[in-house]
Amino acid sequence: MRNRVREQRRQRGLSQAEVAAALGVSRQTVISIESGRYLPSLPLAFRIARFFDVPVDKMFDPDEEEAGPC
Amino acid sequence: MLKVIPPRLRKPALYTLAGLVFAAAWLIHGGRTWWFSIVVLVATAARVAAVYLRAGKDTDEGALAGSRADERLQFLNARARALAGIFAGTATFIALSVAVAAGRTWWPYAAILAVAGLGYLFGLSNYGVGEQDPAEEDADDAPSPVMS
């Protein structure tokens, strides 16, 4: 799963700590989400999308390999 | 009850309580080893101080020690606890088998396994496994989301 959290954060000139405080998570969690090591829950994904004012499906893109139907 | 205690003090409070109980057990045990209770109290104080200090750090470990884990840490914490449970269960089963083979007291190990098994079943029940929601009988009549 690819995401645009880092890209959106940098566009707005925000630090990871500021984003973490706004979302109510730890800085380490923001780092993990940005690096793709952690997939946020659906509620947190929506909070992230709303915070950056980006549709959730634009913020999180499944990789082509993972997106195909079973 | 824990909610009343500030998050940073919750783990230290639990460790303090556990340390006091264990120290009291050594004291009640008495005999020549009563002074073990003093050792337990000193070790508990050191542990509580270390956890309190760690809880003030801006790290994953600090968040866990300070009871302020977010969803990622809660998930990782649950997985780590599950792994610890598997280790403890395996060790207890090995101890039970060895105790039976050696003709030693085995029932405490069996009791621990029974409690763990009941705890697992309680967990499944508590977290909603097996609850069946009634099927929507009119699902065929529902409009398709792709139709305008």
pLDDT in tens, A4-59: 999 999 999 999 999 999 999 999 999 999 999 999 999 999 999 999 999 999 99
Q: What is the DSSP letter of B140?
A: G
* Domain spans of chain A, in order of start: 2-52
Q: Are the CB atoms for B31 and B25 separated by under 8 Å?
A: no
Ranges of chain B with pLDDT below 70: 1, 137-148
Q: How far is A48 from chain B (nearest CA, A)?
A: 14
Amino acid at B68: R
CB B63 within 8 A of CB A26: yes
Taking the whole predicted model, whether its pTM rises above 0.80 is answered as: no
- B28-50: string of b/e by CB count within 10 Å (b at 16+)? eeeeeeeebbeebbeebeebbee
Nearest chain A residue to B63 by CA distance is: A26
CA distance A11 to chain B (A): 25
Strand partners, B16: none
Task: Report the pLDDT value the prediction gives residue A19, as an integer from 0 to 100.
Answer: 96
pLDDT at A67: 41
> How much is the pLDDT for A60?
92
Domain boundaries, chain B: 1-69, 70-128
Q: Establish if B131 touches chain A: CB-CB under 8 angstroms.
A: no
**What pLDDT is stored for residue A7 in this prediction?**
95
Q: Which residues contact B72 (CB under 8 A, 6 or more apart)?
A: A25, A26, A28, A29, A32, A38, A40
On whether any CB of chain B is under 8 Å from the CB of A54, the answer is no
What number of CA atoms fall less than 13 Å from residue A6's CA on the CB side? 9
Tell if the CB–CB gap between A29 and B73 is shorter than 8 Å: yes
CB-nearest to B71 from A27, A28, A41 is A41
- Scan residues 7-46 of A and list those with Cβ closer than 8 Å to B: 24-29, 32, 38, 40-41, 44
- Which CATH fold topology does A2-52 show? 434 Repressor (Amino-terminal Domain) (1.10.260)
